[in-house]
Structure 1
């Protein structure tokens, strides 16, 4: 199953108030295993960068000034996403910005039925626990020491690892159940070859029977006579 894990960085919290997407990072996973295929881009938001937003992701208006507009890369992004489910942390936020940018560039929005929200999954798996990406990385032993600031591609890479753990761990990708019966025999280890010895006689001799009777006669109050 092909899925896309993605994250966005923005100028603020509300696309309806004029905030824009400035970065997107997408990771392709198939059967919960990253394939190495990614889509990553920065966008010129055509507006200022609030200090609070820049403190989160470190992207300044000057850095973004020569980057392409979202509309310039929308077709390439959609070609990468295809019709796959889209996995994001607090996915409603990222979907809101993605669809706002698609609408501005004259494209149809991505259907929210494709949305997979890892916050909701984590809430079911760990009720009452902290659900931030950092907290989940700590819970599952995922190294995030290189995450000094938010970055869409880096956060998508971390989230892909978290998503695998939230949905059963890496053994889910082994696909053992999909092995055809005709192939299953080939997975069995070959029996070691060894020489088969002929059966040996085990009947007691007359002398052994006589010795056994003599021994039994020496027993005092045997249990089988009680």
Structure 2
């Protein structure tokens, strides 16, 4: 029988002796911070074929409260990992094949969406200079025209594993510069296309600035050679 939230409140100070970095809402099993966005979206995502971790279900109860005694070492449980202040990234499982994916919440008014679509287009995917992470799916959100979700494969951060040799570091830089160079060349070709009206806005590549390039870093994994 799970312990009630009132019972968990009563032993919270004892829990702090074991898990000093938790807070009351977290300990008693409330959703915190940016989690509410994903909890509300969970039925929609399930309908679209993406399964979130149990913590992001509306009927979730804290597993450390479900034994004969309360387990104060809550970080023994994966479900103790919360978003806290985060809201824009969450892992999920694609139900059709069990693949691990990442959902990224973006603002639709920014250039990030058309740039990501362009980088994942068949033409760009065939370009050997394109080392960006592919966009697997784009989910338009119900009752929210200002945001959308990009679905990408789940990967390690480029610096999660240390560079072992100098040539690995050099190869990483080469890959980053290659994709930036490919974008620059293609934007130059678009700008010089005389079949297009000179003043026409030809798309996100002509508007690519330093802020847009910074947003692209999440799409740039490192594939070490050898």
| TM-score w.r.t. length of structure 1 | 0.24
Task: Kindly name which structure, 1 or 2, has the bigger radius of gyration based on alpha carbons.
Answer: 1
Q: Which has the higher contact order (CA 8 A, sep 6+)?
A: 1
